[in-house]
């Protein structure tokens, strides 16, 4: 087992000794919670995806078809979730 070496990270004018970290250019698709601690903002993975336990009935089929088409033409991530009845403010 190889030894884990500490690295120096600069935070403003302060240098902090810490463990090396892994860098990501793109996050995996998941649900994250954003938090704040003494060191700044961070993301914590909550789950791998959404589970919808209901059916959608007919009236919004053109919107659903357009959303599915847009989703498939992108990198499979619209970055938004709309939920609720039109005009209720629940979205």
Q: What is the mean pLDDT of each run of 10 residues along the chain (91 residues)?
A: 71 79 79 86 85 67 80 75 68 46
Task: Give, in order, the Cα–Cα distances in Å from 58 to each of 28, 55, 69.
Answer: 32, 10, 17
CB atoms < 10 A from the CB of 67, how many?
Answer: 14
**Helix ranges, the chain (H):** 61-73
Per-residue pLDDT, 63: 76
pLDDT, residue 56, reads: 61
- Report the C-alpha gap between 71 and 74 in whole angstroms: 5
For residue 91, the model assigns a pLDDT of: 46
pLDDT value for 89: 59
Element (H, E) at 15: strand 14-18
């Amino acid at each position: 087992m190889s030894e884990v070496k500490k690295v120096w990270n600069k935070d403003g004018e302060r240098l902090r000794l810490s463990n090396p970290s892994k860098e990501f250019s793109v996050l995996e698709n998941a649900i994250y919670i954003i938090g704040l601690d003494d060191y700044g903002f961070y993301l914590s993975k909550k789950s791998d995806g959404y589970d919808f336990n209901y059916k959608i009935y007919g009236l919004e089929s053109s919107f659903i078809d357009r959303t599915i088409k847009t989703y498939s033409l992108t990198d499979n991530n619209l970055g938004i979730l709309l939920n609720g009845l039109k005009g209720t403010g629940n979205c």
